[in-house]
Amino acid sequence: MRNECRQEADSIFNNDIKCPNGELTLEALSEMKHLERCFLEIMRMFPVVPIVVRKLETPLKINNELEIPVGTNVGIPIVLLHRSSENFPEPDQFQPDRFLPENFKKRHPFSYLPFSAGPRGCLGMKLATMEAKTVVVYILREFEVETSDKIEDVTHIPSITVQLERGYYFRFKKRVNGPASL
Ligand code: HEM
């Protein structure tokens, strides 16, 4: 992941038209597709909001058998939805290619909900995605990043938003062979 994201970022930073004077542009950021897939995959495995709740305004029928009445609060467990092997084979594996357009469109539109959906879905989704990509791109441009922590070591405390159970440690080493614009 790290190398592919870095190669992608370097090739765009090195392009004077896309990044004049080495400054990131909105257009350049939107071309960082692999980085975006990594962000989406992280948000699948570790959604910041693990559950959303909605109060039913109309009765909800499940499999034509069960009817849940108006006024019931229904919890949608985003974190479980994202780890369902029906939608995401090998759900505990980090596989950003799940978010290639051809794979994305095979899934139900509501199988992936890190920003919820519908009229009360997140208004800041695009901004949050751009911010996350920007921070990572600038870090990768300046530093080699290493960790001995593994993705399966990441544990969290469930709450309204997910909190990490402990700190995770990274080593940052200043790059000596960064893009030409450095
Ligand atoms: C990674 C970052 C973010 C995540 C994972 C996230 C996720 C969510 C989720 C899941 C909801 C729905 C909550 C619910 O239905 O109960 C929500 C709502 C909302 N988010 Fe975000 N959000 C993020 C960043 C942002 C940012 C940067 C902004 C604003 C600049 C923002 C503005 C909002 C607003 C205004 C709502 C309420 C929408 C409504 O109820 O009509 N979010 N967010």
Given a contact cutoff of 8 angstroms between Cβ atoms, the answer to whether 98 and 44 are in contact is: yes
Q: Is residue 61 one of the residues assigned to a domain?
A: yes
Is residue 129 a contact partner of residue 39, using CB atoms and an 8 Å limit? yes
The residue nearest atom 29 of ligand 1, judged by CA position, is 124
DSSP 33-99: HHHHHHHHHHHHHS-SS--EEEE-SS-EEETTTEEEPTT-EEEE-HHHHHT-TTTSSSTTS--GGGG
Q: At 40, which CATH number?
A: 1.10.630.10
Q: What is the pLDDT of residue 23?
A: 85
pTM metric for this prediction: 0.91
What would the mean pLDDT of 29-53 be, rounded to a whole number?
Answer: 95
Mutate to test the pocket of ligand 1, among 43, 76, 122, 131 (most ligand atoms within 8 A of CB): 122
* Structural domains counted in the chain: 1
In a domain, 180, yes or no: no
Name the pLDDT band for 2 (thresholds 50, 70, 90). low
**Containing structural domain, residue 23:** 2-174
Which residue minimizes the CA distance to atom 3 of ligand 1?
Answer: 128
Q: Is 160 in the pocket of ligand 1 (CB under 6 A)?
A: no
- Cα distances (Å, whole numbers) of residue 69 to 60, 66, 76, 119: 7, 10, 16, 21
Task: Examine the pLDDT at 144 and tell me if it is beyond 80.
Answer: yes
